[in-house]
Structure 1
């Protein structure tokens, strides 16, 4: 059996391979670890350990994704790395507020890959060709338009247009999904960070086209994406908002990509 403490070495791979990274202070790393544990415990998953978990803070003043790991339930969650994201921006038709909760990444909602084609506004909504779309199935999403309320939305985590929209990561800008950097998308995909159930199917003899043959799957693959809202009143220095140059690149209709 591989020593689970070696899972923390994934920090080195994250630092090498993910180009959009956030330097989260130790105190905030611990605080988010506690938020993660509380969210898991609320879903009777308080004993989860030995696998990576992705945590997203949808707070308008944070907009960040964190990868966590702990070897045993007695350990505290430790951060592997963090990156800026974009979650649902209210105020326009068909724009949902990204749902809160614990979401299982399962082949019951099979992932797929981006074709890299542009929409009518010249936006590659899923990013460049071959980016993986992590499909979390249907979820109850709070409508960010009209009188509000709740509707079903297709909840996904995916890359975005690398030239025009990736520079805007760090603010709410999606229609409800979680947009992530392309390099993070490749990192999650290549190492199978969220592929525990996909790999179980492969081990049973199934062939899954969505998985690359050259992937290097970690022994600690997980399956959960947890979304919280810290409701921070001010933006922390470690999660800066995109500047005016990024905003200037948004083309007409750029706010309507997934």
Structure 2
């Protein structure tokens, strides 16, 4: 019997020696022994629907000559003419931007020297009215060297609406927090938060414009050509999602 008691004592002594030793300050030991805090996370969203109100029209001004200097000079004069026509129509000069020009030599069948030089320059015009768009259309119609490249549409108050939907989402979180606090009689203290990007869906819409030459044999355009069926200034959605974690006290 004494032998059995000695064996049991040895087993308990081994278990006691193999148990981990806890060290630390009272607060650290408290967090170790009672690690769980009552934390809840509230997530809410917000959305605003607007319409695009800015158009950026890109034109290409192209001039050509057998001498490069002449082609460059022609292009400069053509761009000055375009700017004059647009400013006279009420479009501010600051909204007319010229890109860096490019030259493209046209080589003949024989010899290394180009037969001619072609100079192209993209002109981007920022507008916010239909009358301004009509003025740009007249520039294209009255100048054979000018073609319509593309039209981009965007929203002028992007930054304002990003802040707006984020604020709305946060307000929704705080309303929910207030509801729980009052109904459950608890105090919720915010300890962390996160928000998703509130950038709008389909931020910039690009519509390519294609030109077709009317066939001399046909009086109408080909039936394969589809006109623009969608409104250019379509709706735009700004969305935001905000999550806030609260500690229950």
Bin the TM-score by the shorter chain.
under 0.3
Q: Normalized against structure 2, the TM-score is what?
A: 0.24
Which has a greater percent of strand?
Answer: 2
Which structure is larger by alpha-carbon Rg, 1 or 2?
2
With a CA cutoff of 8 Å and minimum separation of 6, indicate the structure with the bigger relative contact order.
2
Which has a greater percent of helix?
Answer: 2
Q: Normalized against structure 1, the TM-score is what?
A: 0.24
